[in-house]
Amino acid sequence: MRRTPAPTSTATRSPRRLRPVLAMTALAALTLTACGTEKAAVGGPRSNPADTAGDRSGEAFAKMLSEVAQQCPPSAPPEAPPTGPARTLPSGATPPSDAIEPIAPTAGPEVELNARDWCASNLHEERVTQALWDLEDPTPAKVRAALNGLGYIDERIHGLERSGTATRFFLDLRERGGRLCLDGSAAGEETVVDKCVAPATGPFKAGERKV
């Protein structure tokens, strides 16, 4: 009697053998998707290192200004200059014929800086003068480095230039609506730093210096 050959094993596959294959295929697809997501995250937008450094330096500068002026009074409008005679003469006395009555200033730091800026200006003048006093051959690069060491950032240093044996510069110290700035001349033991008045708003513009 002739026997009918059994069907080959390659004709059909049982569901049990298909399940592992499907599972491996799904796992491979998930792996590829995860890799694509990771690459997209890595290649996504990043913060600019220069912007981050600028933010940190700006925060450090604001902190330095606050620490310098921590003992100064709160910001307040400038007080009106005093009027009237500088002093009261004794009863019956007459002023000398050559006496000159002092004239109260109408412009300048005395009347345009608020109480906090006036107080802070003296502190800034002292710390900057001390840093530049012993600076030998005060070139613009050395002066900038000294100012940076005190916490004054490049964005607030203006008009840095050599003038003879001295280096001139301005410091923009405006904060909280103030108008404080410093006008400096680094020249060793002849270093001079004076307070000045900057525009209340807008970019800082170095004014004309008196020769």
The yes-or-no verdict on residue 161 having pLDDT over 60 is yes
The yes-or-no verdict on residue 192 having pLDDT over 60 is yes
Residue 137 CA to residue 139 CA, distance in Å, equals: 6
Instruction: Specify if 98 maps to a domain.
Output: no
Instruction: Specify if 84 maps to a domain.
Output: no
Mean pLDDT of 116-142: 96
Range of the domain at 137: 105-205
Instruction: Specify if 74 maps to a domain.
Output: no
pTM of the model: 0.63
Number of domains comprising the chain: 1
Mean pLDDT of 22-38: 51
Instruction: Specify if 133 maps to a domain.
Output: yes
Instruction: Specify if 14 maps to a domain.
Output: no
Instruction: Specify if 181 maps to a domain.
Output: yes
- pLDDT band of residue 22 (cuts 50, 70, 90) is very low
* Share of residues in the chain with pLDDT > 70 (%): 56
Instruction: Specify if 29 maps to a domain.
Output: no
Instruction: Specify if 117 maps to a domain.
Output: yes
